[in-house]
Chain A
């Protein structure tokens, strides 16, 4: 049961252009969403998050958009840089108190071409 879906296994973008990574989810209980970046032979690195009470969160070159009605979120990277080449995991969580169980998507491999 894929509760978090990343339907594009890979994406290629020219340096300086916008990268848009998409993610869909099915569980309406999810209330917190995260994006992680992963380089080969390293652990996932937290990138940016958004609470379900917001529809946009921005951090430098990275912006996450959340469309709750469509159960869709996206990560925009502007401008894209070669160092952004990595696998990007969308994740969603639900829970209470200080704990939330995180469910990951399968990842999208981004290649930024110099």
Chain B
């Protein structure tokens, strides 16, 4: 069964450093998403991406964040200058983009620890 994959599973970085989290969405899906979950809190929407551009972003997704689909398979989230409060699980998801089929399928997540 097709699945969303994410690398790395755990990333430790120092405050102020740039990190890139990588995702490979399900191959025939058209919409891609990033979410984060701070420990003990709910899963929060960051951004959605369609047709090589951002379709929607949340207030959390400020200028420190960017997303890119550098090739036909990868989807990346870049945090330019990490802060302590960026420590969280980051989940990538994808969906088909067909009307009536809105289920998003999630990857296993990347645990980002900012020290």
- A residues at B contact (CB < 8 Å): 32, 34, 36, 41-46, 49, 51, 89, 93, 95, 97-107
Which one of B66-74, B78-86, B106-114 is at the interface? B106-114
- B residues at A contact (CB < 8 Å): 4, 6, 30-31, 41-45, 48, 50, 55-56, 91, 93, 95-109
A-B contact pairs, 15 of them (CB 8 A): A34-B102, A36-B106, A41-B109, A43-B4, A43-B106, A43-B107, A43-B108, A49-B102, A93-B102, A98-B95, A99-B50, A100-B102, A106-B41, A106-B42, A107-B42
Cβ B109 vs Cβ A42 within 8 A: yes
By Cβ-Cβ distance, the 8 closest A-B pairs, closest first, are A43-B106, A98-B97, A106-B42, A104-B43, A100-B102, A46-B103, A44-B106, A43-B108
Cβ A101 vs Cβ B104 within 8 A: no
- Residue in B48, B106, B107 whose beta carbon sits within 8 Å of that of A99 in the complex: B48
Cβ A43 vs Cβ B103 within 8 A: no
- Residue in B4, B48, B100 whose beta carbon sits within 8 Å of that of A101 in the complex: B48
- Residue in A44, A49, A95 whose beta carbon sits within 8 Å of that of B91 in the complex: A44
Cβ B99 vs Cβ A34 within 8 A: no
Cβ B31 vs Cβ A42 within 8 A: no
Q: Which chain B residue shows the least CB distance to A44?
A: B106
Please give, as numbers and ranges, the residues of chain B lying within 8 Å of A106 by CB-CB distance.
41-42
Cβ B30 vs Cβ A98 within 8 A: yes
Please give, as numbers and ranges, the residues of chain A lying within 8 Å of B97 by CB-CB distance.
98-99
- Residue in B50, B98, B104, B108 whose beta carbon sits within 8 Å of that of A102 in the complex: B104
Q: Which chain A residue shows the least CB distance to B41?
A: A106
Known interface pairs A89-B43, A98-B98; A43-B48 also in contact (CB < 8 Å): no
Q: Which chain B residue shows the least CB distance to A4?
A: B42
